Amino acid sequence: MTTGSRPLRPGHDAAAFRRHQILRENVIAWILRGCAFSAVAGLLLIVLFVFKEAWPILGDRVTQQEANLAGFFSQPLWQPVSETPKYGFTPLFAGTIKVVLVSMLFAVPIGVLAALFATEFASPRLREILKPCIELLAGIPSVVLGFFGLMVLASWLQPITHAPVRLNAFNAGIALGLGIIPTVFTVCEDALRAVPKSFREASLALGATPWQTAWNVALPAASAGVGAGVLLGLARAVGETMIVLMASGNAAITSGDVFDSARTFSATIAAELAEVVVGSPHYATLFFLGALLFLLTFFINVAAGAFVDRLRRKLAGA
């Protein structure tokens, strides 16, 4: 009676084959680990190089004479290419806040309500119209939305808003809103769909109407997901470039009026970086703006991630 392996291949050195195979497995595992590391390396390099090019603002005397932190916040004007360059962030702040605020006020109610409609009220047929529309909207490149804001939307909105200029913060905000509706919708819809059916059944069985159920049961249960959707939309709105660059008019003026032309952080980088001298104070300032954008979106995304975790725990614990 044999207990050892029957030879599968006579004359074949099984041990050598296996040694070779183990070596190969190890090499492949290291290659795959390297691939996975590329994501970490990518993120680290982004941080490293964006901050490296922005560093002269904080650490280089010559650059600091022209562009420095104190000036960013005290200087009221952004005129980087004038005789004496002025790098005041205030107008850019004002522009960013106006555009993002308009876009959020436009996109959040539409995105959240439409998600509620899709999950709570819509018949399967209606849902099948709505979902591909969202996918289509999400698939429209931002440069096309920028084009639409610039060429079409601006001409339609100006007669209604009586804005002094065609391209203004309001116009850019609406166009930007179109870009973030899919984000808000998708995240909210996922969260609402994750609410167990038993919650809704319990509410309906107590005699609550569908909208009472949607408003008092489904939406609160999914509230963390809605929060995540809003934050992810916010992060996109802050970072989005092409739409704002094309539809906002790009005038760096400090004003509270949404019908004035506006210039955002991201649009400033896009509009000016191609023309600056590498290593100049202006160049470092634009990278500094990029670093700020990175940090801002990074923290918003981390917060959104925390919301998602909370939703998961809440529904898992329920």
Partner 1 sequence: MTTDALRATLRPLKKSRPFDLAGLSFTALSGFAAFLIVAMVAVILGDVVIHGAGTVTWEFLSAAPKEGMTKGGIFPAIYGTVLLVVLMTVALVPFGVGAAVYLHEYARPDAWFTRAVRFAVANLAGVPSIVYGLFGLGFFIHFIGGSVDRALGLDVVFGQPALMWAALTLALLNLPVVIVTTEEALRTVPREMREASLGLGATRWQMVRHVLLPQAMPGILTGAILSVSRGAGEVAPILFTGAAYYLPFLPHSPTDQFMELGYHVFVLATQSPDIDATKPLLYGTVLVLLLITFLLNITAILLRARLRAQLAGRS
Partner 2 sequence: MTVQTPERPAVTQEPPRATPPPPTVRAQQPETAEGASPTHLSARGLDLFYGAHQALKKVSIEIPSHSVTAIIGPSGCGKSTLLRSFNRMNDLIPNVRIMGELRVSDIDILAATTDVVELRRRVGMVFQRPNPFPKSIFENVAFGLRMLGLKDRNELEIRVEDSLRRAALWDEVKDRLDRSAMALSGGQQQRLCIARSLAVEPEVLLMDEPASALDPTATARIEELVLDLKARYTIVVVTHNMQQAARISDRTAFMLQGELIEFDDTRRMFTSPHQKLTEDYITGRFG
Q: Which tokens is 44 given?
A: 């680290």
**Is residue 151 at the binding interface for partner 1, with CB under 8 A as the rule?**
yes
User: Using CB under 8 A, which of 9, 33, 162, 197 touches partner 2?
Assistant: 9
Rounded least distance, CB 83 to partner 1, Å: 26
Rounded least distance, CB 89 to partner 1, Å: 16
**Is residue 220 at the binding interface for partner 1, with CB under 8 A as the rule?**
no
# of chain residues touching partner 1 (CB under 8 A): 92
Where do we find the tokens 């104190």? 70
Helix (H) or strand (E) segment spanning residue 87:
strand 86-87
The binding track of 13-32 with respect to partner 2, each residue x by CB under 8 A or -, is ----xx--xx----------
Q: Which tokens is 68 given?
A: 């420095």
Contact yes or no for 150/176 (Cβ under 8 A): no
**Whole-angstrom Cα distance, residue 93 to residue 262?**
10
Instruction: Sort 159 into a burial class: Cβ within 10 Å, 0-12 / 13-18 / 19+.
Output: exposed
Query: What Å distances lie between residue 193 and 64, 197, 205, 222, CA to CA?
Result: 53, 9, 19, 9
**Is residue 16 at the binding interface for partner 1, with CB under 8 A as the rule?**
no
Rounded least distance, CB 310 to partner 2, Å: 24
**Identity of the residue numbered 216:** N
In the list partner 1, partner 2, none, the entry touching 4 (Cβ below 5 to 8 angstroms by class) is partner 2
**Is residue 206 at the binding interface for partner 1, with CB under 8 A as the rule?**
no
Which residues, 6 or more positions from 242, have their beta carbon under 8 angstroms from its beta carbon? Answer: 141, 142, 143, 145, 146, 270
Rounded least distance, CB 163 to partner 1, Å: 19
Question: Which of residues 5 and 84 has its CB atom nearest to partner 2 in the complex?
Answer: 5
Rounded least distance, CB 6 to partner 2, Å: 5
Tell me which residues touch partner 2 (CB under 8 A): 1-6, 8-9, 17-18, 21-22
